[in-house]
Amino acid sequence: MSGLTLALSKGRIFEETLPLLAAAGIVPAEDPETSRKLVLATSRPDVRIVIVRASDVPTYVERGAADLGVAGRDVLLEHGGANLYQPVDLGIARCRLMVAVPARFDYRLAVQQGARLRVATKYVRCAREHFAAKGVHVDLIKLYGSMELAPLVGLADAIVDLVSSGNTLKANHLEAVEEIMPISARLVVNQAALKLQRARLVPVIDAIAAAVPAARAKAA
Ligand code: PRT
Ligand code: MG
């Protein structure tokens, strides 16, 4: 392939990446929310966008099916992402990975007493590292979504999930009790493509990186 393929997920990543792409002269020809197409042409004949699940972006880029992509730090940490070049923190799709419990559950006391906690999460890897570093014993329960439900039905004592406004926790009578890490989305680039497509890739990476401060100021 002589052109560039960019992997993006629908929703907040796509929306928040748009102004950064525009700075690199890349404007998608269609909106993935309304079109059902998975391959989108752009204003640049040498750049196309593929629409994939957020958690699949590292796989597409690592294996060279896409030359570059945008993925959350959460997704990259869970995936591993060791073979991906990660040149730019885009500062978009910001949130925090947090431990949350039902309002009636005394997390600090349970930790102090050395209780074994049942923790439901999609972020098993990050959760395991966090609790191991704290010396807290946990049974991790892998879920693929709606973690907030788990404590409500007695499946878990706590959850590890992404929080942005906090409204989802509040609506389910949960409280954030600990921050594991701040999250934002990163630009990820295939390492072989960086060598073979250098002349095309580097100006795109540089233009995106240059647009980050303005996008951040707007989001703040
Ligand atoms: O939705 P799908 O299953 O296809 O995949 P996904 O959930 O991984 O994708 P998407 O598009 O929802 O999220 C893409 C990326 O956005 C994530 O990988 C994060 O890096 C980032 N991001 C930023 C978030 C949030 N903010 C966020 N609030 N991802 C998810 N959420 C969810 C959170 O899991 C919880 O259910 O929103 C809910 C909490 O939001 P508040 O505002 O109520 O606190
Ligand atoms: Mg989602």
Same domain, 99 and 89: no
Residue 29's pLDDT band (boundaries 50, 70, 90)? Answer: very high
Same domain, 101 and 173: yes
Q: Look up residue 48 and give its amino acid.
A: R
Distance CA 57, CA 204 (A): 18
Ligand number nearest to the C-alpha of 161 = 1
The answer, yes or no, to whether any atom of ligand 1 lies below 6 A from the CB of 164, is yes
**Ligand 1 atom 9: the closest Cα is on which residue?**
54
Same domain, 41 and 115: no
Q: Tens digit of pLDDT for each residue in 141-154?
A: 999 999 999 999 99
Whole-number mean pLDDT of the chain?
Answer: 96
Question: Across residues 78-92, what is the average pLDDT?
Answer: 94
Domain, as residue range, for 128:
95-182
CATH number of the domain encompassing residue 48: 3.40.190.10
> Are 191 and 201 within 8 A, CB to CB?
no
The answer, yes or no, to whether any atom of ligand 1 lies below 6 A from the CB of 160, is no
The total number of structural domains in the chain stands at 2
Same domain, 169 and 205: no
The answer, yes or no, to whether any atom of ligand 1 lies below 6 A from the CB of 6, is no
**Ligand 1 atom 42: the closest Cα is on which residue?**
165
Same domain, 168 and 105: yes
Query: For residue 117, how many C-alpha atoms fall within 13 Å in the half-sphere facing its CB?
Result: 31
The answer, yes or no, to whether any atom of ligand 1 lies below 6 A from the CB of 11, is yes
For the beta carbon of residue 81, count every other beta carbon within 10 angstroms.
20
The answer, yes or no, to whether any atom of ligand 1 lies below 6 A from the CB of 72, is yes
Among the atoms of ligand 1, which is closest to the Cα of residue 165?
A: 42
Same domain, 149 and 166: yes
**Ligand 1 atom 14: the closest Cα is on which residue?**
54
Same domain, 43 and 115: no
Residue 219's pLDDT band (boundaries 50, 70, 90)? Answer: confident
Same domain, 128 and 88: no
Edge-to-edge strand list for the sheet holding 158-163: 138-142, 117-121, 158-163, 95-102, 174-183
**Rg of the Cα trace of the chain?**
19
Same domain, 32 and 42: yes
Q: What is the DSSP string of 141-168?
A: EE-SS-TTHHHHTTS-SEEEEEESSSHH
Same domain, 149 and 99: yes
Same domain, 27 and 86: yes
Same domain, 135 and 64: no
Question: Across residues 13-33, what is the average pLDDT?
Answer: 96
Q: Tens digit of pLDDT for each residue in 168-208?
A: 999 999 999 999 999 999 999 999 999 999 999 999 999 99
Among the atoms of ligand 1, which is closest to the Cα of residue 145?
A: 3
